[in-house]
Amino acid sequence: MRDSSRLRAVSLAVLVASAVSASGAKARADADCYYSLPQVFGAALRYLRADLGYEVTEKDPDAAYLLFRYRVPGDPKREVAGSIEIIRLDRKVRIFVKVPQMPQLHEQLLRDGLLKKLSQEYGEAPRPVPEKPKAPAPDAGSDSNPR
């Protein structure tokens, strides 16, 4: 009886630990927008440095990422690592904001602030132009030449 109770307790602990680690791995805030990658990168850099006064520890416009020191609100002496990554997808750009040591709310606030800055600096983001429907391909299964 003791072994089955111990096994249940260990199983429960493993389940809780995996749930906690899985939810931590997903912690980030992302957004899609239709500004150009250079516009988003430049606005992100100005937002972090000028607007928020954060130290940008590393930046690479070609790889489109910024690493910075995030000042924890309410504890100005405490700083944690954060990052903004920008990825070009077909006709849009995806922004990922990560501050892994903080709750996701902090990432969401940074993301929303960056999107607001983009709108203030560049106006409303252009909307994507819908693609024209492609002409249907000839049916490959039909054979016009009888054998």
Residue 19: the pLDDT is 38
**Residue 68 placed within a domain:** yes
Residue 143: the pLDDT is 57
What stretch of H or E contains 139?
A: none
Look at the alpha carbons of 33, 36, 39, 45 in this order and tell me if their dihedral is positive or negative.
positive
Residue 137: the pLDDT is 64
Residue 128: the pLDDT is 72
In sequence order, the β-bridge partners of residue 96 are 30, 85
What is the number of structural domains in the chain?
A: 1
CATH number at residue 56: 3.30.310.80
- Is the pTM value of this prediction over 0.85? no
Is-contact 106 99, C-beta < 8 A? yes
**Residue 113 placed within a domain:** yes
**Residue 136 placed within a domain:** no
Residue 125: the pLDDT is 80
**In this structure, how many other beta carbons lie within 10 angstroms of the beta carbon of residue 67?**
17
**Residue 58 placed within a domain:** yes
State the Cα–Cα distance between residues 35 and 37, nearest whole angstrom.
7
- For the chain (length 147 residues), average pLDDT per consecutive 10? 46 36 60 95 98 97 97 92 96 96 96 97 81 66 56
Domain that holds residue 107: 27-122
**Residue 87 placed within a domain:** yes
